[in-house]
Structure 1
Amino acid sequence: MKLFILCLLCGISQAAEWSYAGENGVEYWPNRKDTMCDLREQSPIDIPWDLVYTDFDAFTMTGYDNMQASGLKVKNNGHTAQIDILPDKQSSTRLSGGGLNGTYYAAQLHFHWGRNDHEGSEHTFRGQKYPLEMHIVHWKSEYSTISDALKERDGLAVLGFFFTTEEAGDNENLKPLIDSLDNIAFKDQNAAITIDFDDLMPTTHSHYYRYMGSLTTPECNQIVVWTVFENLNTISSAQLQKFRELYENTENEQRHHIAWNYRPTQELLGRKVHKNFQEDVPSSWHWGYEGTEGAHYWKNYYQTCSGNQQSPINIPEVTDMTRTKFEASKNLDTLEFTNYDINIDGEIHNNGHTVQIDISNGYSGNIGLKKGGLMGDYTVGQLHFHWGHDGSEGSEHTIENMAYPLEMHIVHYKTEYRSITGAVPKPDGLAVIGVVFKTDAKIVNPNYSKIIDKLPDVKYKNARSQITGFTLRELISDNLRLNETNGLHIPFYRYMGGLTTPPCAQVVTWTVMKNPVYITPEQLAVFRSISHITSGPIGSHDIIKKNYRPVQNLADRIVYQSGNFKDLMDVDTASSLIPSMLTIGAFLFTVFLL
């Protein structure tokens, strides 16, 4: 067994054969003779939510950025692509600190991948799989040799790094490795390689997770101090495919590609997983809308983002009575947009994710919502916008599977909670009005001029400017119902959901207006000029090109209609244009009289 592990570390597989699939596959490893694969401290694991903060000191990595003299060889050992350091050179690449009890010498690194870009990592992060994982294997120097280290519980220290394909383009730092794979297509082939281990690691690797575990291949010896890093490296899909083209056989044997080579996660069984940072969310990660910061990853850092009442949603077809319905007893058509006709005083700013207007006179002006099935009175706090790359996307909500290029959210807090911050922890804390937009080159919407004219002033993140001179009523409809005697019921959908940004708190009573507002493509384009950088020239990659969360599962929720929309199906499109057409008609009539 010791000989096997020693040979595995050196890239020489001489032990009894094992594989990832078939009769020698992972499910049969615990049945092997003299195996440890059925013991209680096995690897890999899923990194859980329940973590123990430990004040580990910083890692000291010596030689990782200067390995020209290490005599590196890349080889195909029939299970993976592996880069070995010559035995007499291993002390030149060493690891200490990071909570390790001693110094460890680097022996080799290798990779684990999957059949596609949605699997491959051995460890997972709160259920999240990554397409590639790299392990850098070290042995503890005080044990003199690898053979001696293999006898000890802390004999090996392995660093694990996840890769993602979310970012576009090849990772140029990986090029020497990827190019070398052509030279080791078959088992036992090897080639010299010039590369630094540092080039294969993410630029930032300050945050990590620590636990005690095992080798992830037979005989699964429980001798590993594991460090799995939070920070991700990148690899393109094309680069990743080169790993899958390696063969598990020698050139003269029947050929089978190494399509995948990862062991499934094992149970923790009472083990503690430590982290080296105190925050709930590490400072090295920030939520966004694209790449590894995108909405798909929010649930890994904000547990509420995987709840069962998330937003946005697709508003079902009005004919689907199992998902949406009209109930007159809910009195939704009594919703009052109180003082929505008062001029807004506020501050417009770019928060790096969107353009937001904080409304300063909401509370003093009693501007808000009441009745209409709400659980009390609500005061307006702010409004903001969501858009997409082009005219085919951008809205957060979709209506009967139709996406719109822009959506506005007017956020209200329950008046008794006095602020949005005070309302977010409460289950009935917020009420949000959602308004979707369509574009038409012939319909210039003057009601948005005050806002759109201010957008150049906040093109940079953190930029702020005062704004006034418009009402919330005109942003939705001049006919909006202010009270029992002023205005009309404008149809909407109602459901219970959550914030559409982290922490995704499920505290929102959503009111999504049925009919879209119209603006021109030119007006919409100004939103897409906003950037997420704080200063300097703005390139195409600096623009906030999209800032919407994809629709979430409606689950067993019902979307309620504020009226019987089946009776309106034939007139909805026409009615949404009436205010604009009346405005244009009045303008033309006035010109004619002049």
Structure 2
Amino acid sequence: MCSPGMHLSALFYSRSTLFMVFAVAVLLARADSFVHVDFHRHGNDWSYGGEHGPTHWHAVFPTCGGENQSPIHIETHKVFVNHKLTAFEMEGYDQIQNLNMSLKNNGHTVQVDLLGVQPRLRGGGLSRDYQAAQFHFHWGATDDRGSEHALDNKHYPMEMHIVHHSSHYSGLSDAMDKAEGLKVLGFFFEIGEENEQFEKIISHFKEIAHKDDHVEIEAIPLRSLLPSDLSTYYRYQGSLTTPPCYESVIWTVFQETIQISKRQLDIFRHEVKQNLPTEPDIDLTDDFRPIQPLNSRNIYTSNINGRIQQEPVSRPQNSAKVLTVSISYMISLLMFALIRLCNEWGYEPGIGPSTWHTDYPQCGGSSQSPISVDTAAAVLDSNLTTFTFNGYNNINNVRMSMKNNGHTVQIDLTGKLMTISGGGVKDTYRTKQFHFHWGSEDRRGSEHDINDKHFPMEMHVVHYNSKYNTFDEAVNQTNGLHVLAFLFEVGEVNHHFDEIIHHFYQIAHKADHVDLTTFPLAELFPEDLKVYYRYHGSLTTPPCSESVIWTIFKETIKISEDQLMKFRHNVHRNYANETDRDISNDFRPTQPLNHRFVYASDPSAIYKPISASRVNKPLSIFVLGISVLIFFNCRF
């Protein structure tokens, strides 16, 4: 899409021009020093071809080389259905009262600015309202190209972008460099019948034949330009598709296309020029940016109709079909037997937590983890003092290596040691690794729960007792391990996890690994580390050794829904040459507390959860009392 506020280009141009005039005046004052001033690239000019084309934009506009650029290729069989992407509420889209439309040729596209009372957009999974400021077009010289986005390897002859800014900001220029400051609706065009509504715009193209031409046109209801079905769309986080390429755009690309005739499309291709009236005419066409890498981003769709499965490879049918199925079934049984023979474990049926004790007897022990923390039954322990974290803010000589082990995402820590001490534990413990457990939905995922409430994710930072030389030596010793557990809740984007999440595409499959740029581990933690729960338990995965001191912090870590979705869908439990199966629901169910106690470091951690019945009881008594009074007043 074009930079919102292309109408701002005149402002940038005028500022640059004033600066250049001032510079020339100064240089002319020193007649012997003036040689040449290049006016060609005023305002950091850019184009769609040549030395100022898309492949060179990043040299002048560094953000154009970012990781979250637009447009992208939407492969519908890889998108994820997100039921939070509900229908849009389009306020003012069907009205023209107090709305003015200004049509212009800015040398890059045809743009219609919306002035006066701007239409508003809400819903559609958005957390705020957005105001429509302008719409513009991208088209190609031939019918097989022109759109910026592609859908299943198909480019369309034209694409329209309706650009909105968050109502938190005064306009496009204020919002364009803010996170989620812009919202753009993208629509593909296909050649079909004449489009009467667009003819009301196209009929004015002779009046904007050259760059900087503009004309006021009769306002048109914005909804009349759109397809009838807006229920199926695609959503991703991206950027402006023209310089300065700010990564501030929530993109919505609709599946249903807009029909336009061949004649109308040819008017776009040949009636408007990219040059000024005094220059040789050059058709304004092929004004689209090439597809950009998706990198670690996900694409979501509003409903199952947006997820189109790839056509299976056709194979000849024959009488051996039943035999083939039988052989496949036998192979599956054989593979299952081999898995069990190799003592493989997982979270899936057949090798899940309920079977672990068969191959790993300690998993059936009496001091197993995780547990459910009953805050009302927790015992206050004044010995549970604050922790001393040594090296947790250090990045020098520390290596972070992230891997997909088929069960979780794990970051191994090597190099200069990080240690913890205090917290009611007499020994010092060395940091070994940290990993995550998450669910396929927000109501589950954590291993521990608080008062029967599960959280969408839990992080474990694993330490081993410094009395032992290695983790393997400590794992079977009493108090050999100490694990810090952090629960997650859905909130704002947590950029401290960016370095981890942005590399998920490099560990998409089992056994994949990648080195991270080291960051301070303490940055991942919540602020309050003084209030926590303590109990003695086990590893939550085989071999389930009962050697773990557990510390569960009360304050949660906040992470966005989009970041959680990347955990759920960007890493898989299978090898690269196998069918993809998401790592999700990688948590063990809670285990009996049995003879153990849970201790708390602070009185604020000991409380009785408020139930709905307790809240409603006084209200029920009040309503009953009012009812009795009304009854007696009516009777007497």
Q: Which TM bucket (shorter chain)?
A: 0.3 to 0.5
| TM-score normalised by L of structure 2 | 0.43
* TM-score, with structure 1 as normaliser: 0.46
Choose 1 or 2 for highest CA Rg: 2
